[in-house]
Chain A
Amino acid sequence: MKRILIIDDVRDRAAWLKASLELAEFDVVGILAWEQVDERSIQAASADVIIVDANAPGRDTLEQISLMSTTLEKPVVVLGAQKDQQSIQEAMRAGVSAYVSHTVQGEDLSGIIHVAAARFLEHKRLRDELKEAKSQLVERKLVDRAKGILMEDHGYSEPEAYKRMRNMAMSKGKRLAEIAEAIIFAKELSA
């Protein structure tokens, strides 16, 4: 069950939203007014999805909180910006935030929240994969450079240089890239 935090200064609107979300079997973990929004209150709510009003000036406050802390990065569903279904879908294709009309009923909302949460996770996964791919590339470059040093300084063949590095990594319990880095540092020291 998705845990939802509502941030809205309009109390009765928030209460109505809470009621319709609960009808759709969501767990509404809290309603915050914008002046209560800070790192601590967002952390404490530990929600899966945050719902806010599109026209709330405080949205920028939330941007800073989620950008400065990766653990507080949450999908944000933004209510009240769009009127028709098509533009809602376009908006959702465009970004992490989902734009939903205030007049959307509870049932529609549940679908939208699921989509928003899923899209957000997908986006995060892609970003993590990219980060991973980049660090792998860096590691490969280090290993190649270290291999070159061993080949040049000790006359090893390429497979031999690689084997020696790998054996060292295994016996020391280090990652291959760390061994490679050590070789490069040693070379720089003697250069």
Chain B
Amino acid sequence: MDKPKQEIIIASANAPEQNSRRDFMKKTGAILGAAGIMSMVPMGTRSAAWAAGSDAPELKEVNVGFIPLTDCASVVLASVMKFDEKYGIKINVSKEASWAAVRDKMVNGELHAAHVLYGLVYGVHLGIGGQKKDMSVLMTLNNNGQAITLSNQLKEKGATTGASLKKLVDSEKREYTFAQTFPTGTHAMWLYYWLASYDINPLSDVKTITVPPPQMVANMRIGNMDGFCVGEPWNNRAIYDKIGFTAATTQDIWKDHPEKVLGCTAEFAQKYPNTARALIMAVLEASKYIDDMANRRKVAEIIADKSYVNCPVDVIDQRLAGKYEDGLGKKWNDPNYMKFCNDGAVNFPYLSDGMWFLTQHKRWGLLKEDPDYLAVAKKINQIGLYKEAASQVKVAVPKDVMRTSKLIDGTVWDGKDPKKYAASFKVRA
């Protein structure tokens, strides 16, 4: 895309300040590039400049964190397959050891953005369990593809489904331990929702702990837990290692649920909108590439590497291709396998998706009071930036900022009355 000359931007964007700007230009114009000038232009004018076609990213290099999970694929491929170069940036992917580190590094600026749990971004924005920091969701990275694994010990006791687990928990009293990956994160919410839909209170009937994804399988092996909810490939890995089985996939809990997002601080999105847009475009390109099923084997091969997920290709490849087996002898092709684009249905940052996590944070006592659900979601989810980016790479944008979903317990979530929805659950904190 052609860059307009610097003076055009300055003159049209800053009419009242023209004189001082011109003086300034005389002194420093020669040494500053377009990016330097752009960062001095206030917010409102910058989007005007975007509309005029100036999309030079303010930053040339963007540091993006990820956790070793199958759904880090679009972020990793945007870098490895050089979709980033096409949009004038270089993505430096950074493998992180914990979600706490992802959060802290985004907050202190060491990471510009990250592959991150949807609920975590909302939790940080509201200051749940730590310092409050205004956050942004640039796009959703994937739907589906997480699961709940139960241990072989539970299988021997006959607990292979939610209903039979409930029977066991009621009849054989002991401390049952279930793990998720972060207190405000998606896996905590899927696990709690699933247990609660079988009338097991995740906070009082069982014990819940947090364990980093790559360590789930090892912890189950040594008997530290009865079940866990985590992203792939770690549920498939538990089957491969013969220590557990899949009792439910998260697409069983909520078909096409939102999962990881491309998150950043509000400050980053405001200060570097062109960079944010370039980042969204590069990751959208990667998402489209991954959703071509012919490419999935190659995707698995790339992310299986030690620098990324660090797991055998075959363990990643099966479920990435939609080929499921549950470790109890059942095999199926899941039409609701992990999706990365689905012509934009995955990536649009629906306000109803963001609000859902708030309703669950309220349900489980992580939020003491009802927040202004809609206002928070509107502030965090960068629908404007996303739409501009999506239209550039020809990814469809849905008409409505809400969507309607029916969850495993039959309740319907449409984003219309979040306060009522949050209060409607019988099993709660």
Q: Chain A interface (Cβ within 8 Å of chain B)?
A: 38, 54-68, 78, 81-82, 87, 90-91, 94-97, 99, 123, 127, 131, 134
Contact = CB atoms under 8 A, between A and B. Distances in A.
B183 A95 contact: no
A123 to B, nearest CB: 6
Given A57-B98, A78-B104, A63 B211 contact: no
B405 interface: no
8 contacts: A56-B98, A63-B210, A64-B182, A65-B210, A94-B133, A95-B107, A99-B104, A123-B131
Central interface residue in A64, A82, A90, A134, by most chain B CB within 10 Å: A64
A63 B352 CA distance: 27
Nearest to A97: B104
A59 B100 contact: yes
Contacts, number: 86
A131 B368 CA distance: 9
A96 B131 CA distance: 6
Q: Ordered nearest first, which 8 A-B pairs have the shortest CB separation?
A: A64-B210, A57-B212, A67-B129, A95-B131, A59-B100, A91-B108, A59-B98, A57-B97
A62 to B, nearest CB: 8
Interface in B84-103: 97-101
B41 interface: no
B104 A81 contact: yes
A65 B210 CA distance: 8
B108 A58 contact: no
A134 B369 contact: yes
B328 interface: no
A64 B133 contact: no
Nearest to B184: A67
B275 interface: no
Contact of A63 (B109, B110, B129): B129
Contact of A94 (B99, B107, B182, B184): B107
B209 A38 contact: yes
A61 B133 contact: no
Contacts of A96: 130-131
A63 B131 contact: no
Interface residues of B, number: 31
Q: Is the interface of B mostly helix, strand, loop or mixed?
A: loop
B108 A90 contact: yes
Contacts of A56: 97-98
B360 interface: no
A63 B215 CA distance: 16
Interface string B185-226: 000000000000000000000001111101100000000000
Contacts of A134: 369
A134 B369 CA distance: 10
Contacts of A64: 182-183, 208-210
B143 interface: no
A148 B108 CA distance: 50
Contact of A61 (B101, B108, B210, B368): B210
A101 to B, nearest CB: 13
A36 to B, nearest CB: 12
Contacts of A131: 368
B108 A67 contact: no
A131 B127 CA distance: 13
A60 B129 contact: no
Nearest to B207: A39
A60 B366 contact: no
B181 interface: yes
B76 to A, nearest CB: 19
Nearest to B224: A35
Central interface residue in B212, B368, B369, by most chain A CB within 10 Å: B212
Given A54-B101, A87-B108, A94 B131 contact: yes
Contacts of B98: 56-60
B408 interface: no
